[in-house]
Each structure stands twice: as C-alpha cells, then as structure tokens.
C-alpha cells in the first residue's frame, strides 16, 4: 500500500531505500527492509500494477556480536559502566570486573576503555575517569544496522569488519514506476462472479479479472485407444451392423488338426513348415478330436470322398496332433463351423454354435421335423491375433491381427461372396476393389482382394477369400447344398494405411510411443 500510495503521489519511486515501512520510524534502508519491499514489488508486478528496476549495492550487516553491542553497548562501555567514579568508591579489581561483566567483555573492553581514556588504575583496582562517554562503536553499529553503511566511511567499516562486528554483503534497492494495471487498491481482482457476491451486492464494487481468451485450455487427461484397437472397434461395428456374430478366439494354441487338417490343407503343405509355423515343445501333443470326425477328415485326405480324390498321400497322426501357435483365425472358424454342423450330425446342441448362428429361426436345439436337416445359416466374424514364423521387417511381425468373416447358407455363390466383400470394404471406406483368382488349399474358388490406394497410386492386396471346399465342409456334417464363404485380412495393414504409418514397429511392440498414441488423430477421431 505504501508503494502504491507513493507512486500515486509522485508517479515514480526513485530509490526504494527512502520509503518508510509502516510501523518503522526510519526509512527502509536496511537489507531486510529491501527484501520485504522486493516481496511486495513482485506481487504487484505479477498483477502488472507496477514495474521496477533493481540496482545492486554493497551493504553491511551486523554479526551476532555486533547485534549484541547494539542491544547492550560495546565491551568498553560496559566495562566503564561497571566501575565507580575515581574517588567515589572502592576500585574494582580485574578479578571482580570479570565477575561483573563476564570474561570476554572484561578482556576486550578494558584495553579499549584505557585507550579511550575512560578508565584508569587506582592501586590494584580500576576506576572511571570520564564522567560521560560517547559509545561510538554502538552508534556506528546502529547506523550500519539501519542503513547498511556508514557515513564515516570505508576506514571505520573496515575496522568494524576486522573486529568481526559487521560483514559485507550484496544489497539491492529499486526504482519503481506505475504499471499498466496501476491502481491504489491492493484488493485482488475477483476471478468469478459468485452467488454470494450477487446476494450481498458485493459485485457492484468488486473489480474483476479480465478474461484471457488466449489462455490455452488445460490438457485433458483421458485414456487413449491404440490405433489398432480403434480400427478393430470400427471393423467390429461394421460386422455387427451387417448382422454378424463374434466368434470366440481366445485359444492362441491350436493343433495341426484344427489349423490345417480340418481345412483340408495337405499335411505336406509348406505352410506347416518350421520356417512358417511356431510349434510348441511342451506339451507336444493335442488332445485327439472326436474320433468319427477325425476318421472322416483323415480319410478324405488320404483316400478322398465326398466327390474328391483326396491327396492320396499317407496320413500322419503325429502331424495332426502337433501343437502350434495358430497361423490364421480360420482355425477358430473351423471350430465354429464344426459346432454349427452339430445339429446336422444329429447331435444335441447346447449353446455355442446355436448362440453364434445368425437369425431367429436358429434357436431351437432339436430338429423341427423329418425334412429339417438341422442346418441353420450363420454369419460369423473374428478379429484376433495370429502367429507366423516370418522374417521381421518394416511391414512384417511374427504376430499380427486377422480380421475374418464367414457366411454359411444354402446355395451361396461366388457372386454372394463378391457382393458381401464390396459392401464390407465400402463400409471401411474402400470403394475401389478388384478380385484376382488365387489358390488356397481350403477354398475353391479363391480370390485375392485388391484395393486402389490413392496415396500410393497403385492397387494393393488387402485380403484373401474363397468358398470353403466340400472336402472341409462335408466331413463336418454339413448338407451338400450348404455353402460357406469367407474372407480374411490383416488389421495392421488398413490401420497403417489409414494413419500413414510406414513402419509396423511404430504401431506394435516396445517401440510404440505412448505419447505418440495419445497425440495421434486415431485417438481423437
């Protein structure tokens, strides 16, 4: 308030040492006073009420001994005060003096008091010679305490320093001017209009802080979905919107039987190679599948059947029972299709396939009548992890996610598959698709799916598809007129394309930056 009032009257404070702090009689010349003033200046500066410049000076402060002298007088003055006036009492012996003023004061004070001519000897004792004294040490120290310096000059200051009564230190003083928000009121401006202010009427006299429209908002601290999860969610929604049910895909470990044999993949197929597939060393063998189904599958491989000549190669139980990390989610589809065909095999169905089968008419667990062959159509999908023993590079990892859709109904055609995929990919924002004949051991015909990539300006492969072979479906027990088509794609590829990521390691693995994920547009949109 003193600072503001002084500025109001004089517009500038040239030297802050000339201010008077409330409750003090002297101007605020000491180091401590300037520290107090600096605190006030900084708080006013933060509200733009003032501006100030600081100036450095060398100043002095009292030591503990110096401060004691200011309180009680110098050693020599205390010695002088303890003695009787010459001729007015019995002289005090040096031993008695020590008792009166203490060892230290007696020792230091005697010499200086003698030198000043304040005291003298009488017999063995000491007496006062001067009736009054000027305690210069004390007044000098008082001056240093309040001004930080001495008018008497450097010689006396040096002497006091030598006597360890004062120490030199750096001091500051300030020149102060009005700031852009200068006002004589130190009341902090209000930041908000409150109910209390409205009811009491205080709002009328309050000053309000201006809105800062340039202030940055506080960063929000929400969780962040990884781009892969984000795209997975999008694709899952497309499937759900198209009436698909999600398959359970929690078993990463499958047997050679479910990953390959059930799909009519020949036991000598290169995909089964150690180079392509991770096998488990412990346990080595899977539990055997249901024996009759197993027999039908091994027979169609070895000798053919269902209109097929088979592979006519010896069947290996060992190959079939090997445990491995699934190389495609089609292994899960095989499990589900086998379950879906249970009713066709005349088995009682509880839950599972029935739950995942599409359409209201599929719920009954028993065949309805003699003409009912038990088949119920189904649209199934899954999005989960698969594993391949690949050489890792910028676009390949040993594990990735597969998106897979499977549709089972009577008399489906290749046109149904193509039509389905056009709709599915267009829902993913991919309008231009092309199909190319391909080979898959478990589908015939098979189609590779290509999409036009406008950024790369070329067609890129986005998936693989086909009509599952009768050699796979009929051993499961499906009636002959049931067709199943399916397609698969990786989750990583469309995610990388979508978010302009060109190295898969920035998307998956230990190099993924959490901050990068949080700031990625995938999280925001």
- How far apart are the C-alpha atoms of 141 and 156, rounded to whole Å? 10
Q: Which stretch binds ligand PHE (CB under 6 A): 100-108, 265-273, 288-296, 482-490?
A: 482-490
Residue choice 137, 149, 255, 464 for contact with ligand PHE (CB under 6 A): 464
Structure tokens at 328: 């495609």
328 in contact with ligand PHE (CB under 6 A): yes
Q: Which stretch binds ligand PHE (CB under 6 A): 109-117, 148-156, 306-314, 463-471?
A: 463-471
- How far apart are the C-alpha atoms of 127 and 118, rounded to whole Å? 9
Range 193-252, binding ligand PHE (CB under 6 A): none
Structure tokens at 193: 């209009």
Residue choice 441, 466, 470, 477 for contact with ligand PHE (CB under 6 A): 466
What single string gives the DSSP state of each residue in 467-525? Answer: EEPHHHHHHHT--TTEEEEEEEEESHHHHHHHTT---GGGTSSTT--HHHHHHSHHHH-
- The H or E element spanning position 449 is strand 443-453
Residue choice 488, 491, 504, 522 for contact with ligand PHE (CB under 6 A): 488
In DSSP terms, 484 is beta-bridged to 408
Which residue, judged by CB position, is nearest to ligand PHE in the bound state?
A: 488
Residue tagged 């594990």 (tokens): 399
> What distances in angstroms separate CA 191 from CA 156, 219, 350, one per listed residue?
55, 21, 66
- Is the link from the previous residue into 445 a cis peptide, with omega within 30 of 0? yes
486 in contact with ligand PHE (CB under 6 A): yes
465 in contact with ligand PHE (CB under 6 A): yes
354 in contact with ligand PHE (CB under 6 A): no
SS3 category, 115? helix
Backbone φ and ψ for 32, nearest 5 degrees, come out as -60, -40
Q: How far is the CB of 328 from ligand PHE (least distance, A)?
A: 4
Could you tell me how many residues make up the chain?
525
Q: How far is the CB of 487 from ligand PHE (least distance, A)?
A: 6
Range 388-427, binding ligand PHE (CB under 6 A): 404
443 in contact with ligand PHE (CB under 6 A): yes
Helix then strand then coil, % of the chain, to nearest 5: 40, 20, 40
How many residues at the interface with ligand PHE, by CB under 6 A?
Answer: 11
137 in contact with ligand PHE (CB under 6 A): no
Cβ nearer to ligand PHE, comparing 435 with 487 = 487
Cβ nearer to ligand PHE, comparing 70 with 407 = 407
Q: How far is the CB of 444 from ligand PHE (least distance, A)?
A: 10
Residue choice 149, 330, 382, 520 for contact with ligand PHE (CB under 6 A): 330
Chain positions contacting ligand PHE, by CB under 6 A? 328, 330, 404, 440, 443, 464-466, 486-488
């Amino acid at each position: 308030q003193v600072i503001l009032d002084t500025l109001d009257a004089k517009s500038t404070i040239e030297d802050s040492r000339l201010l008077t702090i409330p409750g003090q009689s002297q101007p605020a010349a000491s180091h401590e006073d300037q520290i107090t003033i600096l605190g006030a200046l900084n708080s006013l500066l933060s509200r733009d009420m003032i501006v100030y410049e600081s100036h450095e000076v060398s100043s002095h402060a009292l030591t503990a001994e110096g401060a004691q002298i200011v309180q009680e007088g110098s050693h020599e003055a205390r010695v002088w005060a303890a003695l009787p006036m010459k001729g007015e009492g019995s002289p005090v012996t040096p031993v008695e003096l020590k008792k009166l003023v203490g060892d230290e004061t007696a020792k230091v004070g005697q010499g200086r008091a003698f030198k000043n001519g304040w005291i003298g000897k009488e017999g063995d004792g000491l007496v006062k010679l001067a009736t009054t004294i000027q305690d210069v040490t004390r007044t000098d120290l008082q001056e240093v305490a309040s001004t930080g310096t001495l008018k008497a000059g450097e010689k006396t200051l040096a002497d006091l320093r030598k006597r360890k009564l004062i120490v030199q230190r750096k001091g500051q003083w300030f020149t102060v001017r009005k700031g852009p928000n200068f006002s004589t009121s130190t009341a902090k401006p209000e930041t908000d209009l409150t109910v209390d202010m409205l009811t009491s009427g205080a709002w009328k006299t309050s000053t309000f802080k201006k809105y800062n429209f340039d202030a940055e908002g506080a960063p929000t601290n929400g969780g962040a979905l990884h781009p892969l999860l984000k795209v997975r969610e999008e694709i899952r929604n497309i499937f759900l919107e198209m009436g698909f049910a999600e398959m359970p895909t929690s078993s990463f470990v499958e047997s050679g039987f479910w990953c390959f044999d059930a799909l009519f993949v020949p036991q000598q197929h290169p995909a089964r190679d150690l180079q392509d597939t991770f096998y488990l060393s412990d346990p080595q063998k899977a539990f055997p599948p249901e024996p009759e189904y197993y027999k039908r599958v091994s027979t169609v491989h070895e000798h053919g059947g269902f209109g097929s000549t088979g592979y006519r190669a010896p069947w290996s139980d060992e190959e079939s029972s090997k445990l491995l990390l699934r190389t495609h989610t089609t292994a899960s589809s095989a499990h589900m299709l086998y379950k879906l065909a249970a009713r066709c095999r005349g088995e009682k169905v509880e839950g599972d396939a029935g739950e995942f089968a599409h359409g209201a008419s599929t719920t009954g667990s028993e065949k309805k009548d003699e003409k009912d062959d038990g088949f119920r159509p189904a649209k199934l999908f899954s999005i989960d992890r698969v594993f391949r023993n690949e050489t890792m590079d910028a676009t390949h990892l040993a594990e990735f996610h597969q998106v897979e859709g499977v549709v089972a109904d009577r008399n489906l055609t290749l046109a149904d598959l193509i039509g389905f995929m056009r709709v599915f990919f267009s829902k993913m924002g991919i309008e231009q698709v092309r199909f190319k004949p391909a080979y898959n051991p478990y589908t015939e015909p098979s189609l590779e799916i290509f999409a036009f990539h406008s950024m790369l300006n070329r067609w890129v492969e986005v998936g693989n598809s086909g009509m599952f072979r009768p050699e796979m479906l009929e051993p499961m027990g499906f009636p002959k007129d049931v067709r199943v088509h399916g397609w698969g794609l990786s989750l990583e590829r469309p995610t990388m394309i979508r978010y302009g990521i060109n190295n898969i390691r920035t998307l998956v693995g230990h190099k993924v930056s959490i901050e990068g994920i949080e700031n990625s547009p995938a999280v925001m949109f």
